[in-house]
Amino acid sequence: MDSTNAIIYLDIDNDAPMIKFWYPYNLPEKYQREIVEECVSIISADPTFIPEVLLIFPITHLKIKVLIKYFKREDSTTEEGISKSAIIFVFAEENDQIYYRYMSYIDSYFSKAVNAILTLEKNGTIDELIYEEIVKLHLILCNITAYLASKSQYVAKKEEPSRKIFEDKQGEKRKFKVVVLGDPKVGKTSTILRFTDNVFLRAYIPTMGLNITQKIFNIDSIVVELVLWDIGGQTKFEVIRKKFYESASIILVVFDLTNPMSFANVSKWHQDIKNYMKNNRALKGYLIGNKNDLTKKRIVTEIDAKRLSYALDLEYLEISALTGYNVEKVFHKIARKLLLFDKIEE
């Protein structure tokens, strides 16, 4: 059955997480179990860690993604007097760009539902009324998805024909995982969206832990699929980040040419992923200086950036997510280098 657009209310206990409610009621038990396992695993590494914001998380083998809102509930049966809970909304992979763009807007509906649930529980309200709040949130999210999808159809119309052309070709196909790192507000998300959708986000929306975007294009008759893992830069997402470094084909460390602190932290990001790579293998990657359109505000010089890239064994490139300068060229260059590495390793 189609498992998308389902919602789950989860009570997270260290010993036995329990689904308190799910809707639609015919959501298969297999889907319930696997979704819960994935969502619990995100915060299992640190018992004290509760993300304060809405997360997007892929469950690749089910070909779905989930929005997860974790929160704390009062619980007199525990030593701490609290327990962890989560509301999980399941959606189809093709809708991820909708949530990617409007995360803070959608988060507000989750927060409102959580506050209503906590108030009802504190007042000793019967479970049925609490579950009505969850069904109401489900309806709101479904309506929002449909509305935003109708407003974003120009993206699907532009992308789908090219995807079909690539699938029909008889040539080779290569798929690579690209991990994008860097401080908050340096332009990681804007750079990815400029490349995948040729748009620029003027309102800053911090990446909620992880977003995955993909772009399929043609390089010398070879179909290349870049799967771009945009990993949240905030310290609160450190536990989550470590889960997604594995199997990276290449890394992009992005900094802001007008922000010297983001440049100073490049080495930290490079070491962060290096610490968690399997077999301690050498990292292949690029150092990306963003916002080179802001010439009057620029602080980091090209010479300093190239010196650092040489020290870290990364190739240096400059872009502007705002104007689009060099963005397409950079990703095509990355794809060519990945194809070359792939050929050498064969």
pLDDT digits (tens, 9 = 90+) for 114-158: 999 999 988 888 888 999 999 999 999 988 888 777 765 433 334
pLDDT digits (tens, 9 = 90+) for 73-122: 777 777 767 788 999 999 887 766 677 667 777 888 999 999 999 999 88
Residue 163 has pLDDT above 80, yes or no: no
Residue 1 lies in a domain: no
Report the distance separating Cα 147 and Cα 151, nearest Å: 7
DSSP three-state, residue 10: strand
> pTM of the full predicted structure?
0.56
> Do 193 and 107 share a structural domain?
no
Residue 168 lies in a domain: yes
> Do 265 and 189 share a structural domain?
yes
Report the distance separating Cα 270 and Cα 319, nearest Å: 19
> Do 325 and 233 share a structural domain?
yes
* Domain boundaries, position 305: 159-345
Residue 313, by phi and psi: left (phi above 0), alpha (psi -120 to 50) or beta? left
Q: How many CB atoms lie within 10 A of CB 25?
A: 7
Residue 67 has pLDDT above 50, yes or no: yes
Residues in contact with 36: Cβ distance below 8 Å, sequence separation at least 6, in sequence order? 8, 10, 17, 19, 88
Mean local confidence (pLDDT), 245-252: 83
Residue 187 lies in a domain: yes
- Count up the domains in the chain and report the number: 2
Report the distance separating Cα 210 and Cα 57, nearest Å: 7
Residue 260 belongs to a domain with what CATH number? Answer: 3.40.50.300
Contact 39, 63 (CB under 8 A): no
Residue 132 lies in a domain: yes
